[in-house]
Structure 1
């Protein structure tokens, strides 16, 4: 929810797309001015156009030697005036869905509404250019610092936060899904198709919480340091031939590049990977642990050791530990890509995907979501049509489950096959497509 809030705020405040949203409220304090970040070793994802930055827990001051007088000059901060952002939105879809059965038929009637609400007072805080220049000329990098020594052995890029957007007062973000007849993830699968259900979630944003940041690269050589470039976001993804790809082509090209490596391995190994992925989909902490371990594998050039206290990860780690390095690198790369997509989905969606696996409907859902990836979804907000046959399932619960799954990615499906996008959902639908593609491939579905 926090990531959704920061993106909503930046949509209103940052039309030039210069700030990077903070994705986890748990680590927001490590994205303040003068904090050091590193760029993760991964390519940009179509479902995550921003680069991946990781906090280091160090500030620039931590790794600088004292000045000639032995004193630490206090940095000068520039603070903007406070201003309040308020949003209350409701998206509603009504109507019914006719689901054909053989020999009988059944109807599912209902209406759905999704709403979000927040009022938050924010301000910008930045380190002045004069302070940065003073630090650069007066104080050198401590080349004996353990973090700097570790960094020098890699080609990881180092950045410093120069500006943030922070909450000036405590705020509450609320999100509600109300459904009649089964348009909600809370009434999927084994639940009744009748009645009205409402699910409301909220998150408290504390005063001083960092919501977004701007950063600049730092170059280090022999104790001296200089300021590099400000990262720019890439808006257009091109094919290998240099021509722009359609929305569907962009996603398919990327997912095939990152997931086809699994076809090189045995069905037994794929089952181990699948069971591990399924386990982390129900445990956020486990998902974080697996992501971290897989990202660390390429950096361990002198051998690697995968340890965990979780029995759900032990099978995969044991297999990787006794595999050739080239094989481990391929698997770590593919697993990291899948986990990145899962990070973009909501918790309800992960549960819906697990239910879909049990019901063996992932293959049909994949075709449906693939049908959604049209230029209309990427470049416009107008309703468009998908193949209505892809909305037909043997059981009404599977129909409800699939509608809920897609709706949570920002697209409402109507009875006639029309799709109504909300709030430019291309990235969210792309992440769902990647998750379905991976699960379908690993499970050997047809």
Structure 2
């Protein structure tokens, strides 16, 4: 919920996407002005356009040599005006839907409403670049600091937080799904024996919580440090589609997937099964997902003597394979990382629904449906459009409901007649769902 809120705030207040939304409320205090961050080596993706940063736990003050007596670098902070963002919305879906809460029973048709509500006042805090320049001339980096020495040895880029948006007052973000006569859009009961008729979720955003931040890169050499005011633009992969004319943003998504997942096309069926079983295991265990993500990100940075270790039996098969396949190790790790990044963008409920879809062998049809959704301007507003109703026709009614719920959680409301209504510019969320479906479809050998 917190990530959805911060992404919405950035979309509303920073159309140029120079601010990076904070993705977890835990540790938000590490993204304050003058904090130092590391940028992960993995590139931006179509479903996650902001860079990936990691906190270091250190501030610029921690790694500078002492300066003039009595002068604190905290004095270079600047506060600016506040902005209030308020959102209240409710979507109503009437009739025509029937959801299976239990294999032996089917709920009656009914209606459901989904609502979101919040009012938050972000305040901008920044560091004067002119003051930073003065500080740069006056104080050098402590090259004996163990953190700096490790950065130099590993050639890791360092970034300084120069601007943030923070919550100036405590705020509450609420979401609710209300059911009438048994209807429940989120379909928890597809995978659980019990269900609730009124699902409410809320999160308290404390005063001073960092919502988004901006950085500038620092270059360190022999104690001196410079700020990179004009960073080089990253080389972007050329967007093309091999067959036929460009399909707009869908073409960009397809190109990115084909490039990032190209190694999967070269794997044997046995190895594809190992990768699939590993990904299925981490989809039900958040800690395991984090462990696999971290280990896969480390693989390209390690030499041939590096040994992948884990205490989890669910990861051992993949790790053993990677250990004995040095030729494909980096490409395979990068492909898996790309898929895991897409899974990170989905909700936990969606991961469970995806696993159920895999068991029911309906992933390939869901993939075609989501592909059609991406052809429309999902980031242009809330204009409704029609998709082929045949794509919503499944052998069993609960499979249709499962698919509607899966797409709904990515921000597109579907009806049985094929009408679709996007909410909150859901292009990135739908793109992440498309990547997940593509990967599961490919790894499972579906046609």
Same fold (TM over 0.5): yes
Match of 2:353 in 1: 352
Question: Aligned with 2:219: secondary structure?
Answer: strand
Whole-angstrom distance in 2 between the partners of 1:124 and 1:233: 26
Q: Deviations over 1:240-268 (max 9, x none)?
A: 59x97512211111111111211212222
Whole-angstrom distance in 2 between the partners of 1:34 and 1:136: 13
Q: Deviations over 1:373-415 (max 9, x none)?
A: 1133244531111111110111111111000000101111123
Match of 1:376 in 2: 377
Q: For residue 165 of structure 1, report the CA deviation from its aligned partner.
A: 1.0
Q: Do residues 266 (structure 1) and 268 (structure 2) align? A: yes
Query: What RMSD in Å do the two structures reach over aligned CA positions?
Result: 2.8
- TM-score, with structure 2 as normaliser: 0.89
Match of 2:446 in 1: 445
Match of 1:117 in 2: 117
Q: Do residues 399 (structure 1) and 405 (structure 2) align? A: no
Q: For residue 187 of structure 1, report the CA deviation from its aligned partner.
A: 3.5
Q: Which runs of 5+ in 1 are unaligned?
A: 100-105
Q: Deviations over 1:197-245 (max 9, x none)?
A: 33211122222211100111112222211111367999x985259x975
What is the 5 A alignment of 1:265-284? 265-284=267-286
Larger deviation, residues 119-128 vs 348-357: 119-128
Match of 1:102 in 2: none
| Equivalent of 1:248 in 250, 270, 285 | 250
Match of 2:295 in 1: 293
Whole-angstrom distance in 2 between the partners of 1:196 and 1:29: 35
Whole-angstrom distance in 1 between the partners of 2:232 and 2:187: 37
Match of 2:417 in 1: 416
Structure 1 pair 399–143 and aligned structure 2 pair: CA distance change class (3 A)? same
Match of 2:225 in 1: 225
Contact 1:96–1:415 under 8 Å retained in 2: yes
What is the 5 A alignment of 1:41-440? 41-67=41-67, 73-96=73-96, 109-180=109-180, 181-188=183-190, 197-229=197-229, 238-239=238-239, 246-301=248-303, 303-324=305-326, 326-440=327-441
Q: Deviations over 1:50-88 (max 9, x none)?
A: 121222212112222223669765442112344543221
Whole-angstrom distance in 1 between the partners of 2:231 and 2:288: 31
Structure 1 pair 244–370 and aligned structure 2 pair: CA distance change class (3 A)? closer
Number of residues paired by the alignment?
436
Contact 2:381–2:424 under 8 Å retained in 1: no
Whole-angstrom distance in 2 between the partners of 1:293 and 1:16: 33
Q: Which runs of 5+ in 2 are unaligned?
A: 100-105
Whole-angstrom distance in 2 between the partners of 1:190 and 1:172: 28
Contact 1:112–1:183 under 8 Å retained in 2: yes
Match of 2:103 in 1: none
Contact 2:240–2:251 under 8 Å retained in 1: no
Whole-angstrom distance in 2 between the partners of 1:8 and 1:215: 20
Contact 1:217–1:230 under 8 Å retained in 2: no
Whole-angstrom distance in 2 between the partners of 1:354 and 1:233: 38
Larger deviation, residues 395-404 vs 1-10: 1-10
Question: Aligned with 1:444: secondary structure?
Answer: coil
Larger deviation, residues 64-73 vs 27-36: 64-73
Q: For residue 113 of structure 1, report the CA deviation from its aligned partner.
A: 2.4
Larger deviation, residues 77-86 vs 126-135: 77-86
Q: Deviations over 1:328-372 (max 9, x none)?
A: 111110110000000100111011001111111111111111111
Structure 1 pair 259–349 and aligned structure 2 pair: CA distance change class (3 A)? same
- TM-score, with structure 1 as normaliser: 0.89
Whole-angstrom distance in 2 between the partners of 1:413 and 1:209: 35
